[in-house]
Structure 1
Amino acid sequence: MLLARVGETEKANELADVLSREYPLDTLTQNYSLPIVSAAVRLQENDPAGAIESLRPTVKYEFSIPDTLNSVYPAYLRGLAYLQMGNGALAVPEFEKVIDHPGIVGRFVIGALARLQLARARAMSGDKTLAKKSYEEFLDLWRGADLDLPIYRKAKIEYTKLE
């Protein structure tokens, strides 16, 4: 999944094929982990509809806590796909799923990033008031982090443009 998210889609697909062959009957591998990899690859390929389709098998498992990812990662990727499609209204509930389940998400980075993506989704939907609130939550969470991180700087710029 990480390889897919950073654009190494060929390697991600190769490793996914190996996992699929080695664990053909493993429910979480086949219905959670591999669809996540496929969705991440499709997002890299600018195919958000394909990403959403890839995530269909994950719906009944997205609140599980598999060994591979301790998060509600399918919802996060689905939200990113809706953002890529320009549909903030459909992205909002996906990011809210991540935020509303901190016990599953734990300290995984999507817990913080979901707030940023929720802000973007709300801004895209035209709800500036709630978008500002989500940006503030994200910026507050990252206040003690490296302030030169590109994602933090970009979020601050986006937030400023809402004012």
Structure 2
Amino acid sequence: MFALGLSEQVTVGLGLALGGGLGGVSYLLVADSPGETADETMTVSAETERAPEPQPIDLFDGHPDPVLYFVDEGHGPIVRAANEAFGTTFDVPSDRLDGTALSEALLVAGIDEVDAETVSATDLDVVALSTAHDEPRQFRLRTAGVPSAGYLLLTPLGTAAN
């Protein structure tokens, strides 16, 4: 068992860093010989938590229509997941969209009528035109979730000529 002598002093602190992560500081004061002190300071930090994954995952992945899960992380809405239907519909690997701006995902889908800030800030239910393929198609765009985090569902309605 380790015991500290009376001449040794240990201080440990835990605080919140400015960037939102946890941090800790320990201060160790040890007397090497009478009248001398050694000073060591150590800072420890932890990464901030990542945004939650879409739940329930099986409903998200198995949905027949394109779906994006987005989170506003302070610099605008970011796509955290796209289901396979999104990848198939817009000919993009769905796992590549993780971490991209929602505005870029909308451009991949060929939708420029709706901006990312509108998607993340309001309950959206609008018909928009996608020009991602040779033949323009209409999609009904709806959001579900709380402001700044949720799902964007793109339900195909048909070609623009219909």
TM over 0.5: no
* TM-score, normalised relative to structure 1: 0.21
For the pair shown, the structure with the greater C-alpha radius of gyration is 2
Q: TM-score, normalised by structure 2?
A: 0.21
Would you tell me which structure has more helix in proportion to its own residues? 1
